Chains A and B, each alone.
Chain A
């Protein structure tokens, strides 16, 4: 292979353009952008296009609180040695997990034997539907339904925050599901005293130091978040042991 020399003095022929070689940058850019858009298309199709998941039929609670233990917004005997206040927001998904995963264990191990009295407390902060739901639960109780049955329905039917999961229609559906008449229930939702009570209780929670949900107040000791069951049960077992060994009188301090 020798390079042929061009005779001198001849006119220069125009050089034919070389076949275009795309730069790797262009190829990578086009390929990566296409791959990204393809990924979005797959995500949209696999995850379901938004807008198709509007609240419709009510979901049945996976776990239903035993209403035989119910005493208003409390569960368990009034003279139980240990009290647990659960500060929660009906729109809080972690509170829903607390209700589904942890509360049944607390109820069966401590409330049913008369060791713990558990009380639901409103700490409504996520938005308007938090207050609507809290008012609705109070109205349900005031009209003779089970607060806890309504409470379970609310947590089982959470949706996107303040997007209609707890609209008046849905709250009315839940009222019917717990055996109430829709129209009187809906009318009572406008009772300003009910809303004021929710605001007042939330303010009490703030004054106690509650700043997230769920927060348990166990004999006055705050425990924020969703605790590990092993640690929580060990803590409660300790309180039970102290309570059962202590003579009647002043309360014991938490470990």
Chain B
């Protein structure tokens, strides 16, 4: 049971970690290097909503993705259901937060960061995979 879904969950978490790492690096290095024709990341990244209590939101996203990754690996490689519960729980905590930030992009900042959208989709997919896997655990 842990095989295929465990692999999928781990890969999704790895992708989320990679995206969050990139966004964190961009933020910590002072922001996007240019305003390109096909991009809104620089606007989102320089908005007042890109930090929370002084911490870049991308770093918080990196923490969430890394925790999901740890849980996914724990379940996938050691069949430890605590890892699956952890990935599921962090994914579920992230859902309303991601919905909030997507709302901010669309309705307040009026710019869409494709990397942020990709991160949100990957986290939602990972949470769905964890939920499906948990049905087999119970």
Binding site for B on A (CB under 8 A): 23-25, 28-29, 31-33, 35-37, 39-40, 43-44, 46-48, 50-51, 53, 89, 92-95, 97, 125-126, 160-163, 211-215, 224-226
Contacts and interface: CB of A to CB of B under 8 A. Distances in A.
B93 interface: yes
Nearest to A33: B92
A35 B91 CA distance: 11
B134 A44 contact: no
B96 A94 contact: no
Contacts of A212: 34-37
B34 A36 contact: no
Interface in B96-119: 96-97, 99-100, 104, 107-111
B88 interface: yes
8 contacts: A25-B138, A36-B93, A40-B97, A47-B48, A94-B42, A160-B109, A162-B110, A213-B34
Given A47-B49, A160-B109, A163-B110, A97 B33 contact: no
Nearest to A126: B35
Contacts of A214: 34-35
A225 B107 contact: no
B47 to A, nearest CB: 8
B59 to A, nearest CB: 14
B53 interface: yes
B37 A46 contact: no
Given A23-B138, A33-B96, A40-B100, A94 B35 contact: yes
A102 to B, nearest CB: 11
Given A36-B94, A40-B97, A160-B108, A31 B34 contact: no
Contacts of B107: 50
Contact of A39 (B30, B88, B93, B110): B93
B58 to A, nearest CB: 14
B43 A93 contact: yes
B104 A35 contact: no
Contact of B100 (A31, A44, A97): A44
A213 B49 contact: no
A36 B96 contact: yes
Which of A31, A51, A89, A94 has the most C-beta atoms of chain B within 10 angstroms of its own C-beta? Answer: A94
A34 to B, nearest CB: 9
B32 interface: yes
Given A36-B96, A161-B43, A224 B34 contact: yes
Contacts of B52: 43, 46-47
Nearest to B85: A28
B89 interface: yes
Interface in B49-106: 49, 52-53, 85, 88-90, 92-97, 99-100, 104
